[in-house]
Structure formats: C-alpha cells, structure tokens
Amino acid sequence: MKCAFLTFIALLTCSSAMASPPDGETLFQDNCMVCHGPRGTGGSAPKLAGDASEWKSKVFERAVLSGIDDHGKPLKAPMPHWANASFKSDNGVKPSKLEIDAIQKYLHQQK
C-alpha cells in the first residue's frame, strides 16, 4: 500500500513538472506582431487572422519555416524563413511544431 501511494505521488510530481504548452499569444507578440499587427489583422505585412490561420497545419508550418505560402509561392520579403533562425526565446533553435501550432491557434482565435 505504501509503495502504491509513493508511486502515485511520484506520478503527480512528474506530471506537474512537465513543460506547459507554448503560449501562442506570447510567441506571436514577441516574434510576429511588429509586422502582422497586434492581433494578426495586418500591418506592414499581410493579415494572418482568418486567412493563414485557416490553412492546414502543415501548410502554415511550411510558410513559417520555409517561406512558402498555401499556393506554393514564396512569401514576400522581409518575411524571415524561421528554419534558419529562432524565435526570441528559442536561443538559436528553429521554432518547434508545437510553437508554430500555438501561434496558428492564437491567430485562429483572433478572426
């Protein structure tokens, strides 16, 4: 019984120590807002909320990482190709699928 209780406590501790999912709003504000506007509704760069936010996940990820839009065409400069860069908080590592999905989810909520 004591062993089962200790196992239960260990599982609770491990699950609470797991990383929380990325915050799409913060990621967007820190890395995309300057050009795409505070809620992704456009600025010096195109609107994303309601447009790119509706793309399939793989297409949105391709656009962010490789600069290729939903029609297979290159995005206009100065959109960075994030596969060769990192978000401000990523310390030189390209954005993860979880981060990109979190940004897309945030943008989807803004439409």
pLDDT band at 4, cuts 50/70/90? low
In a domain, 1, yes or no: no
Looking at per-residue pLDDT, the higher value among 3 and 50 belongs to 50
In a domain, 7, yes or no: no
- Residue 27's Cβ-count burial label (10 Å; 0-12, 13-18, 19+) is buried
In a domain, 10, yes or no: no
In a domain, 84, yes or no: yes
Name the DSSP class of 30.
H
In a domain, 93, yes or no: yes
Does the pTM surpass 0.85? The reply is no
In a domain, 29, yes or no: yes
Give the bridge partners for 74, in sequence order: 68
Amino acid 28: pLDDT: 96
- In the chain, the number of structural domains is 1
pLDDT band at 101, cuts 50/70/90? very high
Name the DSSP class of 88.
T
In a domain, 4, yes or no: no
In a domain, 100, yes or no: yes
Position 1 pLDDT exceeds 80: no
Distance from the first to the final alpha carbon of the chain? 53
76 lies in which domain range? 23-110
CATH label of the domain that carries residue 86:
1.10.760.10
Position 58 pLDDT exceeds 70: yes
Amino acid 88: pLDDT: 83
